[in-house]
Structure 1
Amino acid sequence: MDKELQNKNYEELSKELLELRKEQFNLRMQLGTGQLTRVHQFKVNRKNIARVKTLMNQKSSEKGA
């Protein structure tokens, strides 16, 4: 996933972040209703969000420099 993200531009990363946040929301709702069986997905999703945000910050600083 990391290599795929590095090849994306800022707008594509922004869309990816939106999708990951929606997935995080859905995971939270599933946990609340007792439907979530793979609790480790929280950790995976959180780390993916951090990866995307890091790449977005790197790309925005490259634009500014």
Structure 2
Amino acid sequence: MADKTSVEDLRQMSADQLTEKLIELKKEQFNLRFQAASGQLANTARVREVRRSVARIKSIQSEKKKAVAS
């Protein structure tokens, strides 16, 4: 699941693709939190990576909405 999508790749995605990616990351984030709570999480750094990826996608979505509005 260790998906390293660059910012440039994210910026080239359509709004629908970004939404799909966001949903995928949110599901992974939920699963990681569940694993952490049950003591089964092996790679604790992945939690941080996923959280930052979610924020990155939300920022890009916001930028795209502002660009369309102006």
Runs (4+) of structure 1 moved beyond 3 Å? none
Q: Which runs of 5+ in 1 are unaligned?
A: none
Q: Which runs of 5+ in 2 are unaligned?
A: 1-5
2:64 alignment partner, one of 33, 54, 59: 59
Letter in 2 for 1:63: V
Q: How does 1:3-42 map to 2 (within 5 A)?
A: 3-42=8-47
Equivalent-residue separation in structure 1 for 2:61 and 2:9 (angstroms): 13
Number of residue equivalences: 65
1:10–1:60: 8 Å Cα contact kept in structure 2?
Answer: no
TM-score of the two chains, using structure 2 as the length reference = 0.87
Q: Decide which moves more: 49-58 or 4-13.
A: 4-13
Q: Percent identity?
A: 32
How far residue 49 of structure 1 moved from its aligned partner, in angstroms, is 0.4
**Which structure shows the bigger proportion of residues in helix conformation?**
1
